[in-house]
Chains A and B, each alone.
Chain A
Amino acid sequence: MSKLTLTVNDQTYDLDVPESRTLAQVLRYDLGLTGTKIGCEEAECGICTVLVDGVPVDSCIYPAFKAQGAAVTTIEGLAHNGELHPLQKAFVEHGAVQCGFCTPGLIMTSVALLRGNPDPDDHDIKVALKDTYCRCTGYTSVINAIHSAASELRGEGAQPWCSVATVEPLKAVGRAVPPPETVDKVTGRARFTDDYIFPGMLYGRTLRAAYPHARILSIDTSKAKALPGVLAVLTHEDVPGENIHGLVYSDWPALAADKVRYMGDPVAVVAAETPDLAAQALALIEVEYEPLPVVADPEYARTPEAPHVHEEWPDGNLLKHIKVRHGDIEQGFAGSDVIVEHEYRTPTIEHAFMEPECAIGVPAGYDDEHAKLTIYVGSQIPYSDRQQTARALGLPEDAIRVRGTLIGGGFGGKEDIAGQIHVAMLAQTTGRPVKMLYTRQESLLFHPKRHATIIRIKTGAKRDGTLVAVQAELYGDGGAYASLSDKVMTRATTHATGPYVVPNAKIDCYVMYTNNPPSGAFRGFGVTQSAFAVEQNMDMVAEAIGMDPVEFRLKNAQKVGETTATGQLLRESVGLLETLERVNTSMRGADAGFQWGWREGGKAYGWGVASAYKNTGLGGGAPDRAVAEVEVFPNSIAEVRTSSADMGQGLTAVLAQITAEELGLPVSAVRVLLSDTDLTPDGGPTTASRQTYVSGNAARYAASTMRDALRAVAAERMSVPPDQIVFEDGCVRYNGSSVALGEVVGWMQEEGLEAKARYQYDAPKTQPLGTGGDMHFAFSYATQAALVEVDLETGAVKVLKVVAANDVGRAINPRTLEGQVEGGIAMGLGNCLTEEYIIEDGVPWSTLFARYKIPSIKHTPQIVSHLVEHPTADGPYGAKGVGEITSINTTPAICNAIYHATGVRIYRIPVDQDALLRALKAGEAEVRTTWHDVK
């Protein structure tokens, strides 16, 4: 311990702290300034940025004593006397905040920029924020926010957010209100799981497999247990209940017992007084393995010689064979004038949410607030966490409470169990709270990812441009455990016709167990992969028959009255044609000389178009329900409660707006409580773009039920006909007289009634694949056009512009919706150009953030967004899902654009400039390899 003198946010501290501290540790743990977040500890993501003597630095690798005597400014130091800094205001106003985990880093980096440069242009902003990542927003709103704040700081006034055109808004629905927690996210007050500390809290760590596939011969924990300060070392033998979990299939041991099936498999967990001691204890656990042959890819997995990943599984390594049969495929191709057949490959993709997984277990009876075993976690499915934890701990479900914290991004990657079961076991064993925070590197290793796929697809059409047949074979790398593989690859299969009318289809998908990290849910849910193949085949067919790619799509687009290849009659809300037309008009502009591709200087330019559709909701016969509760208090404040998760997408705003609309309240008078299994009813999983629709409907009907109850009481008290009472501005009104809503609540209470309503919303019934009928209750549609620039000397690809049109049914909140559009495009761009999670013979190479590049602000293209609103009858105010559709067609649009620019087809992503250049030089028309395929 030495004295460290720091002035932090104008307050001087003399601290006795170990010299081994980083600045981030001092700020977060010694000073409790948890607004500064830690994202990677590799100086890659920049979200830990603070200012040291005015200079932005990565505090996670900045030794605290390096800052001896310095003035440090953190996110908590920006607002003065409750007045937000112009940047903080601008981030709220421009929708530059989603999950909020990177927000402090973005804002602090921007503060430094504006101090040195009061009027930055886009380039200056991109230079300054180049290494400060955001996974949610796609950066467009961040750039706008910085311009606005700069303008305000120059005394020229803040710039307003420019709304995208929508249908006429209602009182609350259709308005760009910020989600209620947004202000906390820009001030650093927002608390994520790692920001919680409990007295006596221990630190957990997980020992993971040493091989991708091996039998466990023995585990010796005695040395680890003997280390002073270590309070528990648990293995499979210590799992009190059933040692198994899983979302669809229960195939994943909480702690590996007989064998390990991938490098992320947990073998033992420890709890110790400090994180360092926990790490030391891990090193003392001795595990004896017998390595087994590795199943490294899904095609090999299906061969007879491949060893079985799960010996007890009856179908070998085949997790599922999924089939779509429609019409007569032989006849279809026989009647086709043009047939295009190709094989495409997509890699494993990492979610790279900015907040690594963290869970805290608090033992039952710890204090008054924690009578039950409580798990704090940022999870997409709190009730499922509770169910799976209860099973592993051998407890009834209601003996456990899952309290959702804010989620620093999810994108599907926080649906599976991470540390929930482990912290519960460790807390119960030690009788003390236990926090398990994964490092970025552990997060990369452990959690289920986007399926790598091999897709062979054959498309047939008539010379007049009528699509006749699609045949496809897909292989999905399911990895070591099932997770959501079944559902994800079903979606890839059923959407493999693209959003078109295809009278004859035969599609087979094989989802295979391998020794790679498990694959699961990831924004786009399988459709991202099939769209990459489908939409390039579409362009090739159009070219072969000499038809414009847009015209070809328009001719075959799904419309009301048509039937999908799974036998679903489309009755309403099919906005595909309009998305195509809007994008086409925007892309071609007023210029009569539109060209798909051209060359200029040493560069080639090209436009590419792709369309897509994506189901809203679980579908396939799964009951899709959400329960919401609405309560109104005597102070005229309402609260809406459901367990649905907000991982940054803006669900809280949607629920508050819907509740406000139904009750005639200002949105600011509605509180939202999410993700608490004791206080909020089950909203179901936050997946499948379903929450606006399903939980939104639950909230809407709960609120309208509440309104009807209030109306009945008010009518009686005011002696007026119930149907003439109007709910507006927080009051009930009749003929000029007005009573505050809270007063009506008082009347209800006087009558012994609770001003509380609960509603279980069951979405329209769906049918399983193969039975015909409606597999889904709604689809969203989208078209994107991308303009790319290819450097003919280097092969480097740059996306200059993306035009997007999304049919969302109804825009409940146009600003958060635009955030989904911009963020979805950025994620799609990363999927196409920058990202690949590399695994070699079961061993991940992408073990660091430095080895896995997500798009940074410098990749941000100009985005032109159109909202198309074809309402769906059962959706709240007509709304359907939007979270995934925004991201799906970016990749094929870019690849089609590259083709138009260069004449080279991309069959493998990410696009490799090395291979692209070599193809260009050799006059080859295709690229089938990627950047690490070289020997």
Chain B
Amino acid sequence: MTLWNYYHTPASVDEALELLRSYAGKARVIAGGTDLLLDIRQGHLPPPEALIDITRIGELCDLHQDGDWLVLGAGVTHTRIVSTDLIAARATCLVESCGVVGGPQVRNVGTLGGNVAHALPAGDGTTSLVALDAEAEVILDGERRWYPIRELFVGPGMSLLDPTRDLLIRFRFKLSGPYEATAFKRIMRPQGVALPILGCAAWVRLDESGEYYADVRLCIGPVDRVPVRAEAVEAALCGQPVGSDAVERAIQAAHEGLHPRTSRYRATAEYRDEMIDVLLRRVLPLAAERAQTGQAVPEGVGIE
């Protein structure tokens, strides 16, 4: 089956936008294509007339530090993220999550931008971007502006971006500083589709004693149609001393606030509830320890 007819590799954002305009809704943006082409091949999307490959646009392949911020082009592959030492040290959860997406062949071409644009409620990279409080620069209906990452998610598999018109340019987020750190873990099953039963990314800032949670951002998913922050859990942790009591408080708050569903081929709600406990017990102490020591070595990259 012919999945597309024309393939363009524009060198600039303007050229890409012009191409999209010229196809008037009949062309789609492609980055790695590891989700998109399967969707077309499996009949979830009609074959577009043309694919506009954004991975040769300099701006979208850019990865650089800007003061305390990291700027990450939407066309940067998972592999490049995982092998960037700066991200491993100061946005560890992103390496831990991008490092378990697919296998090496998929990570070598699949991009974080593509993952976000695909808008799965529990994409591993997305979960971490939410905990990192990342922003995304997009060109939406011709207008370039920054959005909080969560605003790109409209529904399951539904993005704010129109893939026949709009472009996701890049992400930015603050790298963790002193007393700050992140961690990501997920729970999988060996059968069926390789999507997480539940994933969890945490960003923590401890106070200067290193003994208390000063600020926490937590994303656990899927618990909703779109990725969400576990705000009640975050609140329950703030001001608490680091340790198992805090984790148990977090777990209690999570059970009050988060209500994961049963999904037939993934997990029961009951199991997911249990996994909230497990993930919080695994992720929070790890993030806190990293924040205390200032050392972070990503765990589970490649195989959890």
Contact = CB atoms under 8 A, between A and B. Distances in A.
Nearest to B30: A63
Interface string B101-112: 011111011000
Interface string A21-60: 0000000000000000000011100100100000111100
A793 B105 CA distance: 31
B10 interface: no
A58 B102 CA distance: 12
A934 B302 contact: no
Contacts of B104: 56, 109, 112, 127-128, 130-131
Given A65-B7, A130-B303, A43 B102 contact: yes
B7 A66 contact: yes
Given A43-B34, A918-B271, A127 B109 contact: no
B41 A41 contact: yes
Interface in A474-488: none
B268 A66 contact: no
A314 to B, nearest CB: 39
A110 B233 CA distance: 44
A109 B37 CA distance: 22
B193 interface: yes
Given A61-B37, A918-B271, A932-B265, A853 B108 contact: no
Interface string B262-280: 1011011011001100100
Contacts of A796: 189-190
Interface in B187-209: 187, 189-194, 197
B51 interface: yes
A914 B267 contact: yes
Contact of A62 (B33, B187, B275): B33
A46 B107 CA distance: 12
Nearest to A793: B278
A931 B193 CA distance: 12
Contacts of A49: 105
A170 interface: no
A66 B191 contact: no
Contacts of B37: 61, 63
B1 interface: yes
A858 B278 CA distance: 23
B9 A66 contact: yes
A859 interface: yes
A848 B265 CA distance: 14
Given A19-B7, A914-B267, A931-B189, A66 B53 contact: yes
A57 B109 contact: yes
Given A57-B105, A58-B106, A914 B271 contact: yes
B4 interface: yes
Interface stretch (A519-527, A539-547, A806-814, A832-840): A832-840
Given A19-B7, A42-B38, A57-B105, A910 B191 contact: yes
Contacts of A58: 34, 105-106, 109
B22 interface: no
A63 B53 contact: yes
Contacts of A921: 274
A409 B271 CA distance: 37
Interface in B7-56: 7, 9, 30, 33-34, 37-38, 41-42, 51, 53, 55
Nearest to A19: B7
B187 A66 contact: no
B3 interface: yes
B38 to A, nearest CB: 6
A42 B187 CA distance: 23
Interface in A347-390: none
Contacts of A932: 192, 264-265
A276 interface: yes
B103 A130 contact: yes
Given A66-B53, A123-B303, A931-B192, A43 B38 contact: yes
Given A41-B41, A57-B109, A132 B103 contact: yes
Size bracket of the A interface: 35 or more
A131 B303 CA distance: 11
Interface string B150-189: 0000000000000000000000000000000000000101
Interface string A71-100: 000000000000000000000000000000
Contacts of B192: 851-853, 931-932
Nearest to A124: B302
Given A131-B104, A834-B190, A934-B262, A918 B9 contact: no
Interface residues of B, number: 48
Contact of B303 (A19, A42, A127): A127
A479 to B, nearest CB: 21
Interface string A897-935: 000000000000010111001100100000000011011
B197 to A, nearest CB: 8
A872 B68 CA distance: 75
Interface string A782-795: 00000000000111
B105 A43 contact: yes
Contacts of B274: 917-918, 921
A279 interface: yes
A20 interface: yes
A858 B41 CA distance: 28
A55 B108 contact: yes
A845 interface: yes
Best-surrounded residue of A56, A126, A275 (most CB of chain B within 10 A): A56
A63 B7 contact: yes
Contacts of A276: 1-2
B106 A20 contact: no
Contacts of B1: 275-276, 279
A742 B220 CA distance: 75
Nearest to B265: A932
A278 to B, nearest CB: 10
Interface in B84-105: 102-105
A917 B103 CA distance: 27
Contacts of B42: 848
A112 B104 CA distance: 10
B265 A931 contact: yes
A197 interface: no
Given A57-B108, A127-B303, A859-B190, A46 B7 contact: no
A101 to B, nearest CB: 17
Interface in B242-293: 262, 264-265, 267-268, 270-271, 274-275, 278, 281
Contacts of A749: none
Nearest to B36: A61
A794 B33 contact: no
Contacts of B187: 794
A850 interface: yes
A68 interface: yes
A470 to B, nearest CB: 31
Contacts of A55: 79, 108
A18 B5 CA distance: 8
A116 to B, nearest CB: 10
A853 B33 contact: no
A19 B55 CA distance: 17
B85 to A, nearest CB: 15
Contact of B3 (A20, A275, A793, A853): A20
Contacts of A112: 104
A699 B264 CA distance: 53
Contacts of A851: 192-193, 265
Nearest to A857: B303
Nearest 5 Cβ contacts at the A-B interface? A131-B103, A127-B302, A65-B7, A914-B271, A19-B7
Given A55-B79, A279-B1, 9 more contacts: A20-B2, A43-B106, A61-B34, A63-B7, A131-B103, A131-B106, A850-B38, A913-B189, A934-B264
22 contacts: A20-B6, A58-B105, A58-B106, A63-B53, A65-B53, A66-B33, A68-B9, A109-B105, A127-B104, A128-B104, A128-B302, A276-B1, A848-B42, A850-B38, A850-B194, A859-B190, A910-B191, A912-B191, A917-B271, A931-B189, A934-B264, A934-B268
